[in-house]
Amino acid sequence: MSVTAVGGADSSSYAQGSTRGELGKEEFLKILVSQFKNQNPLEPVKDTEFIAQMAQFSSLEQLQNIGSRLEIMQENFLWSQSLSFLGQEIEGLDGDGNLVRGIVTGVKFLSGQIILLIDGEEKGLQLITAVKLPGVEGRPADREES
């Protein structure tokens, strides 16, 4: 069974379009309104251009909605993945690269990161290397399948 990193993706690093130098829907709408205010009355914008710009605006808004929903899905996935570790004995690396081993007794989701409570201590694991049932000897890869 393959086990992936719990805290590998940082959903807190997600930024809205305007803070990353990208055009957000508010800026797009302001530009569109400004364009219509300042157009030459003798050569107005053609209907097809207006429709194309409105379609672009609608697409931008939908993409932003999709991005927000994907961020929520990612958080939910990380949360449900971390809950599966409750009661399990794990081995992994903490943020400093130190080996951590113990039984997961609690889970927190804090600032986009999964924090596991292992033997009474909060640990943010970057990479889980093994998961097994408590009291079962050997690492999962060391045991033979029956």
| Residue 97 belongs to a domain | yes
Spatial CB neighbours of 91, under 8 Å, sequence gap ≥ 6:
99, 100, 101, 128, 129, 130, 131, 139
Q: Where in the sequence is the domain holding 116, given as residue range(s)?
A: 87-133
In a domain, 146, yes or no: no
Strand partners, 113: 110
N-term to C-term CA, the chain: 15
90 compared with 12, residue with greater pLDDT: 90
State the total domains in the chain: 2
Give tens-digit pLDDT for 24-63. 677 877 887 888 788 887 887 777 877 887 888 888 889 9
Residues 127 and 108 in one domain: yes
Q: What is the mean pLDDT of residues 117-130?
A: 82
Tell me: do 56 and 116 sit in the same domain: no
* 129, 104: one domain: yes
Q: Based on the fold, state whether residues 23 and 69 are members of the same structural domain.
A: yes
Position 103 in a domain: yes
Q: How far is CA 61 from CA 66, 116, 131, in A?
A: 9, 36, 42
Pair (48, 107) in one structural domain:
no
Residue 66: pLDDT band (50, 70, 90) is very high
Helix (H) or strand (E) holding 90: strand 89-94
pLDDT at 14 over 80: no
Q: At 12, is the secondary structure helix, strand, or coil?
A: helix
Higher pLDDT, 57 or 138: 57
Query: Amino acid letter at 92?
Result: G
Per-residue pLDDT at 68:
92
pLDDT, the chain, mean: 76
Please check whether residue 127 is in contact with residue 9, taking contact to mean a CB–CB distance below 8 angstroms. no
